[in-house]
Amino acid sequence: RKEVEQDPGPFNVPEGATVAFNCTYSNSASQSFFWYRQDCRKEPKLLMSVYSSGNEDGRFTAQLNRASQYISLLIRDSKLSDSATYLCVVNTPIAGGFKTIFGAGTRLFVKA
C-alpha cells in the first residue's frame, strides 16, 4: 500500500463546476498536510496547507480528517486556469528529521 494515495483522474469538468479531490495517508504519525499544484513540465507550487479545523482560500477549501486519515480539496467555480495536477503532500517525523511524501497527483481538466 502506498503511503499517500490519490485518485489519478483525470477529472474533466466544465467551467463553473465544483470538484473535490480526496487523498488518504497510511501513517497515523503524520503531522502536516499540504496541497500543491503542478502545471505540465513545471515545478510544484504550494496551493495551501491543510489544518484540522479546515481552511479556505478564495474558491479553495481544504479539510483534514485525522480519524479516517484523509484530506480533501474542494474547488468551487472552476476556471480554465485551474487545469493542472493537484498533489497531496504529507510530512511524517522520522529519526533525525522528517520525510515528505507526495501522492501521485490528480489531474484536472476544466473545459469551456
Partner 1 sequence: ETGVTQSPTHLIKTRGQQVTLRCSSQSGHNTVSWYQQALGQGPQFIFQYYREEENGRGNFPPRFSGLQFPNYSSELNVNALELDDSALYLCASSLAGGMSTRDTQYFGPGTRLTVL
Residue 99 as a binder of partner 1 (CB under 8 A): the answer is yes
Q: Based on CB atoms, which residue is closest to partner 1, 50 or 75?
A: 50
**Measured distance CA(75)–CA(16) in Å, rounded:** 10
Residue 53 as a binder of partner 1 (CB under 8 A): the answer is no
Q: Which of 10, 16, 54, 93 binds partner 1 (CB under 8 A)?
A: 93
Q: Based on CB atoms, which residue is closest to partner 1, 58 or 97?
A: 97
Whether 37 and 86 have beta carbons less than 8 Å apart is answered as yes
32 DSSP β-pair partners: 91
Least gap, CB of 44 to partner 1 (angstroms): 5
Residues forming contacts to partner 1 in the complex (CB under 8 A) are: 4, 31-32, 34, 42-46, 49, 87, 91-94, 96-105
